[in-house]
Chains A and B, each alone.
Chain A
Amino acid sequence: AQTVTQSQPEMSVQEAETVTLSCTYDTSENNYYLFWYKQPPSRQMILVIRQEAYKQQNATENRFSVNFQKAAKSFSLKISDSQLGDTAMYFCAFIHQNTDKLIFGTGTRLQVFP
């Protein structure tokens, strides 16, 4: 079965600092996609970053970057220069290339302090 594990239920970071959220997944497939979604208090799910498994280069979106380690099945999210607006629940998610179903982790609640 394909699973996504987020081992950090809660994290906190001071404004302007850097924080890394962990995610591991389990699959026997070779072609898949990985995502980080953000859910702020408004509960709107927002796509943060996306990574194709066949790409070795780590995806980057402004202050957000990932460390994708395919052999280790690890997909961590680094947030640089943290801002108060980054306070949210962060979900790691996986989808196999030939299926429709997104598989979510249990989430990490990130609090950014001033």
Chain B
Amino acid sequence: GAVVSQHPSWVICKSGTSVKIECRSLDFQATTMFWYRQFPKQSLMLMATSNEGSKATYEQGVEKDKFLINHASLTLSTLTVTSAHPEDSSFYICSARDVSSPGTDTQYFGPGTRLTVL
């Protein structure tokens, strides 16, 4: 149980275009999902917290107009990188909390999406 999927697993796009990444909780409901960014050989950096039915909460330094987050249902959150530039190239990982399980604090992670902006 507690499986989180991400789509796509990798994407290459041209500079100036927008890219949408989906994060789904497959076998549980997640009122809260999280989006992280990971640079090579570094730890995970929290970008934003996605709450179902309300606006996302962004971490300091993360541009909310550039990284649009929509959490429209209890099993789906999307991250849209708008007007992508080469510096947005990175590995993006989502996670979700299973609120029905005894350990509601545990986050389960998706497999990640590698974004390359040319």
Contacts and interface: CB of A to CB of B under 8 A. Distances in A.
Interface of A: 33, 35, 37, 42-47, 50, 91, 95, 97, 100-102, 104-107
Contacts, number: 45
Interface stretch (B15-23, B64-72, B76-84, B89-97): B89-97
A43 B9 CA distance: 11
Nearest to A89: B41
Interface of B: 32, 34, 38, 42-44, 46, 49, 91, 93, 95, 97, 103, 105-109, 111-112
24 contacts: A33-B105, A33-B106, A35-B106, A37-B109, A43-B91, A43-B93, A43-B111, A44-B112, A45-B93, A45-B95, A46-B109, A47-B108, A50-B103, A50-B106, A91-B44, A97-B105, A100-B32, A100-B34, A100-B49, A102-B46, A102-B95, A102-B107, A104-B44, A107-B43
Contact of B43 (A50, A91, A97, A101): A91
A27 B97 CA distance: 22
Chain A facing B: main interface SS: loop
Contact of A101 (B38, B49, B106): B49
Contacts of A100: 32, 34, 49, 97
Nearest to B91: A43
Nearest to B109: A45
Given A100-B32, A100-B49, A44 B109 contact: yes
Contacts of B107: 102
Contacts of B49: 100-101
